[in-house]
Structure formats: structure tokens, C-alpha cells
Structure 1
Amino acid sequence: MPTISMFYGILVLMYFRDDRRHHLPHIHVRYQGEEAALTIDDGVVFDGSLPRKQLKMIQAWIEIHKEELLLNWELAVNGEEPFRIAPLQ
């Protein structure tokens, strides 16, 4: 489960071959013991939860980096190492 970005205490992860369970492009996010899975397409939380402030930050980050995230998704579902993506600044 490679970490593809980290900012403001938020870890963004993308698991290898993770399309079998959820069947849609998504990321996993961890923040202070909380975890959530969010869709890349629209930043919707479909599993878990995050504090409101961190959720808004990660949704903005997803919007900024959507193309890179989708490229990473293709790499990860094929078992390849996804690349790092710039943090939210």
C-alpha cells in the first residue's frame, strides 16, 4: 500500500490491485486514527470517515490532481508502483 502523498498529517494511499473489492478508481486516506476511501472521480467518501476540515482538503487535492490520480490508479491495478503526487500547499 504505497503512500502517494502526505500533507497536514493526512496520508494518501493507493493499494495494488484494489479494483477487485470496490470496482472504481479510489484512494485511501488516513488522518489521526481515522480512515476513509474516496472516489477519484468526485471525491465522495464511500467507506469510513474523516473530520470535515481534512475531508475538504483532500477533496480539493483530488480535484487538483485528478489526472495524476487516474494514471496512478491504472498503474496500481496492474500491480505497478504508483508515483508520488505533490502535496496540498
Structure 2
Amino acid sequence: MPEIARFYGIVIKLFFGDHPPPHFHAVYGEYVGLFNIDTLEMIEGDLPNRAKDLIIEWAAINKEEMKKMWEKQEFHKLPPLE
């Protein structure tokens, strides 16, 4: 699963052969979350609220680019949250 971003100990990954809806994975230590790219809702996972908030903030900035990557199945690194 390609890593597309890393910030504050959070790793964001995107896997193209995965099931719909378009989504990304976030890993923070032993915690994981699965987020819908369109709604930014956490579909499943156990992330702490602070990490979840940072991920949603980052995803709102990069939403359109992630949608393009999912559709074209071409990935590249995205900038971290600053």
C-alpha cells in the first residue's frame, strides 16, 4: 500500500485495488483508521480524536488530489500537514 503522506507520526496510505468507496488508510502508532475520500468520514478504526482531527484537516486540503489518484490509479507524495 503506497504511502502518500507522513506528518506528526501519522502515515497516510492509498491502495488502488481496494474496495469502494474511494478511501484512504491512516496509521498512528498501533491505531488505524479508514476514511472516505468524498465525505472525510472515518468509516472504521480506533484513532484517538486528536489524530483523527489532524487527518481530517489534512484530507480536506488534499481531497481533490486523492480523488484523482484513486481514479487514475497513479500515486505520488502529498505535502504533510504543517
Deviations, residues 19-67 of structure 1 (Å, cap 9, x unaligned): xx3x111100000111110011121111112110010000011111111
Tell me the matched-pair count: 82
Helix, strand or coil for the counterpart of 2:39?
coil
Helix, strand or coil for the counterpart of 1:50?
coil
Q: Which residue of 2 aligns with 1:31?
A: 28
- State the 1:72 CA deviation: 1.2
Q: Which residue of 2 aligns with 1:87?
A: 80
Unaligned runs of at least 5 residues, structure 1: none
Unaligned runs of at least 5 residues, structure 2: none
Helix, strand or coil for the counterpart of 1:87?
coil
Map 1:7-86; keep pairs closer than 5 Å. Answer: 7-18=7-18, 21=19, 23-76=20-73, 81-86=74-79
> Structure 2 length as normaliser, TM-score?
0.93
Q: Distance in 1 between matches of 2:72 and 2:13?
A: 13
Q: Higher relative CO (CA 8 A, sep ≥ 6), structure 1 or 2? A: 1
What percent identity do the matched residue pairs reach?
35
> Structure 1 length as normaliser, TM-score?
0.86
**RMSD of the alignment, in Å?**
1.0
Runs of 4+ in 1 over 6 A off after TM superposition: none
